[in-house]
Structure 1
Amino acid sequence: MATTVLIYYDFRMLGHNPHGWDPGRPEWTDAVKAMIELQYPNSNLDTYRHPERPERLTAIVDSLLLEPIDGVRWMLLAPASATQLERAHDAAYVAHVESLDGQSGWLAKDTTAVSPGSVTAARLAAGAGIGAIEAIAAGEARRAFCIVRPPGHHAPADRARGFCLYNNLAVTAAHARKALGYDRVMIWDLDMHHGNGTEAIFYDDPNVLVVDSHCAAPFYPGSGLLAETGAGAGAGYNLNVPLPVGSGNATLQAVFEQVVRPAARAFRPEILLISTGFDCHYLDMVCAMDETGYAAVTQSICALADELCDGRLVMMLEGGYNAKALADSAYAVIEALAGNPVSALNVLPDDPGAAAVADAATFHAKAIGALAPGQAGDANTEN
Structure 2
Amino acid sequence: MEDAHVAGFREMKAMTTPVLVYYDTRMLGHNPHGWDPSHPAWTDAVKAMIALQYPGSNLETYSHPERPERLTAIVDRLMLDPIEGVRWVLPMAATTAQLERVHNKAYVAHIESLKGDSCWLSKDTTAVSPGSVEAACLAAGAGISAVEAVATGEARRAFCLLRPPGHHAHSDHASGFCLYNNLAVTAAHARESLGYQRVMIWDWDMHHGNGTQEIFYSDPSVLVVDSHCAAPFYPGSGLQTETGTGAGAGSQINIPLPLGIGNAALLKVFDEVVEPAARAFQPDILLVSSGFDCHYLDMTCTMDETGFAMLTQRMSDLADELCDGRLVLLLEGGYNAQALADSAHAVVKVLAGNRVK
Instruction: State if a TM-score over 0.5 links the two structures.
Output: yes
1:146-185 correspondence to structure 2 within 5 Å: 146-185=160-199
SS at match of 2:178: coil
Residue in structure 2 matching 1:280, options 280, 287, 294: 294
1:71 paired residue number: 85
1:87-98 correspondence to structure 2 within 5 Å: 87-98=101-112
1:355 paired residue number: none
Identity across aligned pairs (percent)? 75
Deviation at 1:77, TM superposition (A): 1.2
Residue in structure 1 matching 2:152, options 114, 138, 149: 138
Partners of 1:129 and 1:286 in 2: how far apart? Answer: 27
Deviation at 1:185, TM superposition (A): 0.2
Find out whether 1:250 has 2:250 as its counterpart.
no
SS at match of 2:60: helix
Find out whether 1:195 has 2:203 as its counterpart.
no
Kindly report the root-mean-square deviation, in angstroms, between the aligned alpha carbons of the 2 structures. Answer: 0.5
SS at match of 1:226: coil
SS at match of 2:84: coil
Mean Cα displacement is larger for which, 62-71 or 38-47?
38-47
Deviation at 1:27, TM superposition (A): 0.6
Find out whether 1:13 has 2:27 as its counterpart.
yes
Partners of 2:353 and 2:137 in 1: how far apart? Answer: 31
SS at match of 2:171: coil
Alignment: residue pair count: 343
1:295 paired residue number: 309
SS at match of 1:46: coil
Partners of 1:53 and 1:146 in 2: how far apart? Answer: 17
Deviation at 1:28, TM superposition (A): 0.4
1:182-261 correspondence to structure 2 within 5 Å: 182-261=196-275
SS at match of 1:50: coil
SS at match of 1:60: helix
CA deviation vs aligned residue, 1:16-74 (integer Å, no higher than 9, x gap): 00011111111100000011111111211122110000000000000001111000010
Partners of 1:13 and 1:297 in 2: how far apart? Answer: 27
1:28 paired residue number: 42
1:86-125 correspondence to structure 2 within 5 Å: 86-125=100-139
Partners of 1:86 and 1:258 in 2: how far apart? Answer: 35
Partners of 1:78 and 1:321 in 2: how far apart? Answer: 25
Letter in 2 for 1:69: I
Deviation at 1:2, TM superposition (A): 2.0
The normalised TM-score by structure 2 is: 0.96
The normalised TM-score by structure 1 is: 0.89
1:52-63 correspondence to structure 2 within 5 Å: 52-63=66-77
SS at match of 1:214: strand
Partners of 2:85 and 2:327 in 1: how far apart? Answer: 15
Find out whether 1:264 has 2:272 as its counterpart.
no
Mean Cα displacement is larger for which, 178-187 or 38-47?
38-47
Letter in 2 for 1:252: L
Moved over 3 A (4+): none
Letter in 2 for 1:63: R
Letter in 2 for 1:217: A
Letter in 2 for 1:266: A
Partners of 1:76 and 1:291 in 2: how far apart? Answer: 26
- Unmatched 5+ stretches in structure 2: 1-14
